Amino acid sequence: MNELDVVLLTEDLPEDRLSAGSEGTIVHVFHAPDTAYEVEFTDERGDDIQVTLHPHQLTPSTGGEAGNTQAGSCRTGL
């Protein structure tokens, strides 16, 4: 996965009030020490939610999903 790819969250992140299926955009790829992605989600008010995630927590969006986003806060999900 690369920067600006649209992805789906594969698991719930209750501490960020994000649920599996939430759609976001990769804004940065970390390559060291391990691969990780900073992903930006947008809540229903238009506020940004940025979370750093492991590859297993994401899947590429095929564009056919509903794109669920929910309110949350900026934190690291690692």
Domain membership of residue 10 (yes or no) is yes
CATH of the domain at 19: 2.30.30
Query: 61 lies in which domain range?
Result: 6-76
Domain membership of residue 1 (yes or no) is no
Domain membership of residue 41 (yes or no) is yes
Task: Specify the pLDDT at position 73.
Answer: 42
Domain membership of residue 42 (yes or no) is yes
Task: Specify the pLDDT at position 78.
Answer: 52
Domain count along the chain: 1
Question: How confident is the prediction along the chain (78 residues), in pLDDT tens digits per residue?
Answer: 999 999 999 999 988 889 899 999 999 999 989 999 999 998 777 889 999 999 999 999 987 544 444 444 445 555
- Tokens at residue 58, please? 């994401």
Task: Specify the pLDDT at position 77.
Answer: 52
Domain membership of residue 71 (yes or no) is yes
Q: Are 23 and 71 in contact (CB under 8 A)?
A: no
